[in-house]
Chains A and B, each alone.
Chain A
Amino acid sequence: EAQVTQNPRYLITVTGKKLTVTCSQNMNHEYMSWYRQDPGLGLRQIYYSMNVEVTDKGDVPEGYKVSRKEKRNFPLILESPSPNQTSLYFCASSFRGEKLFFGSGTQLSVL
């Protein structure tokens, strides 16, 4: 089954404790992207990647890192999480940035 898999689904952590949210897709998509969703703000793009070893900043990249060492994986790294990074995170993938396929989301709480 074609899918984008994010883990974990829920995560509670404390300020400053490094964490990684994993994302994997099995559709051989070149394009992958991370979004955060906050009430009243819609979805905002954090980072995106056009292909392996190619990543670019989105609208809200501060405090986040990504890597694209393999085509199928695009992990999101928070080196030192802060409470304002509490949010619902989505990974998505597609061919050429059209028709995005989304993961189920990761609800992150930073205390």
Chain B
Amino acid sequence: SQQGEEDPQALSIQEGENATMNCSYKTSINNLQWYRQNSGRGLVHLILIRSNEREKHSGRLRVTLDTSKKSSSLLITASRAADTASYFCATDAGNNRLAFGKGNQVVVIP
């Protein structure tokens, strides 16, 4: 079932700026994952954060998780034109059914 909801749903920024997007969910989770999709192609896994973790880094990506508020944020620092994509959060409630949000379109202007 659809669970993650990204916010904002569309974001336009200048190259070099930081991009922040949020994801809210409704039920308890084992982990939350972020994926990137370029122009109708297959999704690519970016980062996974477990329910007992609060923050995780991977290169220019920083993910936070607040289980009390049932929300997560993805920060992309020093954005590049190549970061232009749709970003999805996905929640794993432990039932083998990874539930994806509707996605967040990010446009980085060179």
Contact = CB atoms under 8 A, between A and B. Distances in A.
Interface stretch (A43-51, A62-70, A72-80): A43-51
Given A98-B48, A99-B48, A40 B102 contact: yes
A100 B48 contact: no
A22 interface: no
Interface of A: 4, 31, 33, 35, 40-45, 48, 50, 56, 58-59, 88, 90, 92, 97-105, 107
B87 to A, nearest CB: 12
Interface stretch (B10-18, B38-46, B77-85): B38-46
The size bracket of the interface on B is: 20 to 34
A41 B96 contact: no
B2 interface: yes
B41 A42 contact: no
Nearest to A57: B97
Contacts of B98: 33, 45, 97, 100
A90 B100 CA distance: 13
Contacts of A100: 33, 35, 43, 45, 90, 98
Contacts of A44: 2, 100
B25 interface: no
Interface of B: 1-2, 31, 33, 35, 40-45, 48, 88, 90, 92, 96-103
A105 B97 contact: no
Contacts of A43: 43, 88, 100
A44 B103 CA distance: 12
Closest 4 CB pairs of A and B: A102-B42, A42-B102, A43-B100, A102-B43
Nearest to B45: A99
A44 B4 CA distance: 12
A53 to B, nearest CB: 16
B96 A50 contact: yes
A100 B102 CA distance: 17
Nearest to B42: A102
A100 B91 CA distance: 12
A24 B2 CA distance: 26
